[in-house]
Chain A
Amino acid sequence: MNAPVYNFAYLDEQTKRMIRRAILKAIAIPGYQVPFASREMPMPYGWGTGGVQVTAAILGRDDTLKVIDQGSDDTTNAISIRKFFEKTAAIKTTTVTSDATVIQTRHRIPETALNDNQILVYQVPIPEPLRFLEPRETETRRMHALGEYGLMHVKLYEDIARHGHIATTYAYPVKVNDRYVMDPSPTPKFDNPKMDDCAALQLFGAGREKRIYAIPPHTKVTSLDFEDHPFETYRFDAPCALCGSGVSYLDEVVVDDKGGRMFVCSDTDYCETRRADGHQGAGFGADHQVS
């Protein structure tokens, strides 16, 4: 039988070079979706294969990797991806945002501000922001080429006409460097402002759809809006029940079957660090223990 032998960080060097070329092109044209020859990875499509390939291509032996899903290091898929790189690359891993040099994420941007020594790798399911307005790739590529984004503004306007608000709450479209409209991956729009003028390099990998795109450090990223309906992020009514933070994105936890709810930070590292620093929320130490 052909016993498999795997390279550092799983991918062979030829594949890594191909991905690095796509990444360089993506950095050169901020927000533009670069096609790349995505490989079959040993985890399913839609479970982070794009992010995993980008991470595998950029990871060096001295890197420290953090993997989060829904803001947390301990969700099952984050653990699975972290273990994958521990096994195939034998690199250091961490859960502390500020200690990481590469952070792979699904659906969140860490609350702690990133620095210029870090790369944030996003897992992207549908890279095309216009996909649900126009299902054809041939059409959407043309629309990007011509900068024809009227359809998107019409969609946002229709939301306002119908609901009084823009009804997009996650994967909220942004314009990068005043040129390309880009899908920020399904992060809540709460995180959109963090992408603007970010010190860290932001890379986006969509494995199934075979696209890589990027936001270079300190690039202008604006969320689409209207003068009379400016972009606004969702505000929570109460601070985190555990660490008391009033500025973080919160997860709603159903604590009983009588309508009881608890709101806690989605970014577990941020929440734990704050608690270690002595911050406390109203629900800390009460009935609803976090173990």
Chain B
Amino acid sequence: MYVAVKGGERAIENAHQLLAHERRGDPAVPDLSLAQISGQLTLAVDRVMTEGSLYDRELAALAIKQARGDLIEAIFLLRAFRATLPRFGATEPVDTAAMHVRRRISSTFKDIPGGQILGPTFDYTHRLLDPSLTQDAQVPEPAQGEVHDAPMPRVTDILGADGLIEKSPKADSDQPIGDLTREPLSFPADRDLRLQNLARGDEGFLLALGYSTQRGFGRTHPFAGEIRFGEVEVEFIAEDAGFAVPLGSITLTECQMVNQFKGSATEAPCFTRGYGLAFGQSERKTMSMALVDRALRARELGEDARSPAQDEEFVMSHSDNVQATGFVEHLKLPHYVDFQSELGLLRKLREEFEAAKEGDVTLAEAAE
């Protein structure tokens, strides 16, 4: 009868076995390889690496496979693994101006040094389902172009040369960069922590918040100054060697939003910045991040903070999808002890209500 009390252990084991079975699907269909996931579900892998805060395509592909394609679950798997990794130190800041660019667009200038490079993008595709993909259709070789050695300066640097955009703050090597995975977050939070929080934040949440700023909830008049995607070198200064050692290259997407200007009695008006950075090709994420970053700078820029996207405690406390999904889904756990105490009180209140009503009737009868 009362099965909830015992047998939980076997039930868990059986549930896990069933899950593994469901994950594999029809055994007559070949198993998904990690190479297939990392090579063909590239953008899923990029998102899992970004929000999982770990640059490892193979592990991200494994997480996606294990999570049955549930990306938040995959992000969770990667994060839990990341939490156990030792820290050797921090790399040198990556130089996105020296990026080996695969795609680079600006919506603020028609032409820019280095040119607009469309690269692999869904933009301008017609969203028609392609039946040829139901089979392993041959894909034509991509067009090849000449490689130019011409530098590809960042649009914000071009604007910056004329002082038209606020200066990017210089990194202070004496000031350690905050890490909210190592130190508990407290408010107000500085921009390094805010950016880290946003970089790990849920793409959907940031998309909605960024969108809300465009619809008037904390408007920032943004222009996509530049979005670039490609490879950058990562360097690490080894204490023993005394110089920067290249560790390899990683693929990044960077978005620099150019926003409404600001000036004061002492400073000439100039555009302000919103910044987004993510692993792999993650344009929606970096654009949303840049919008929200700019909105969150309201306090620093002396703007009224009245909208959700400008409220750092609201944004930063709710952006993490691993935290959010855990707490929302914990409602599945038994709560019968608490529920019982509510039931007890509710019954008591209802009894008192009925008693009071009967009392009223008796009083009314007595009055007649």
Seen from chain A, the residues whose Cβ lies within 8 Å of a Cβ on chain B are: 1-2, 4, 6-7, 10-12, 14, 35-42, 44-47, 49, 69-72, 74-80, 83, 106-108, 125, 136-138, 163-165, 167, 169-171, 186-190, 208, 210, 234, 236, 249-253, 255, 262, 264, 266, 268, 287-291
Contact = CB atoms under 8 A, between A and B. Distances in A.
Interface string B72-91: 00001001111110100000
Contacts of A69: 333-334
13 contacts: A37-B183, A42-B80, A47-B333, A69-B334, A70-B337, A75-B8, A76-B8, A79-B8, A137-B317, A186-B338, A249-B337, A251-B337, A290-B6
Given A4-B84, A45-B327, A190 B345 contact: no
A76 B336 CA distance: 13
B2 A74 contact: no
B132 interface: no
A170 B341 contact: yes
Given A47-B326, A75-B8, A291 B3 contact: yes
Interface stretch (B157-165, B166-174, B184-192, B218-226): B184-192
Contacts of B17: none
Given A40-B322, A163-B349, A288-B1, A170 B330 contact: no
Nearest to B78: A40
B56 A2 contact: yes
Contacts of A287: 1
Contact of A37 (B79, B182, B317, B322): B182
Contacts of B328: 46
Contacts of B9: 74, 79, 83
A169 B1 contact: no
Given A71-B337, A186-B337, A249-B337, 18 more contacts: A12-B84, A14-B86, A37-B182, A37-B183, A40-B83, A41-B80, A42-B80, A44-B329, A45-B322, A45-B327, A74-B8, A76-B11, A76-B334, A165-B349, A169-B338, A169-B341, A234-B344, A252-B343
Contacts of A289: 1-2
B340 interface: yes
Given A36-B184, A37-B184, A69-B333, A169 B2 contact: no
B342 interface: yes
A2 B58 CA distance: 9
Interface in B205-260: none
Contact of A70 (B58, B323, B326, B334): B334
Residues of A contacting B: mostly: loop
Given A44-B326, A289-B2, A108 B337 contact: yes
Given A12-B84, A169-B344, A251-B340, A46 B1 contact: no
B326 A253 contact: no
Contact of A47 (B7, B12, B183, B330): B330
B11 to A, nearest CB: 7
Contacts of A14: 86
Contact of B184 (A38, A41, A42, A74): A38
A236 B345 CA distance: 11
Contact of A288 (B2, B12, B80): B2
A166 to B, nearest CB: 9
Given A12-B84, A137-B313, A288-B2, A190 B184 contact: no
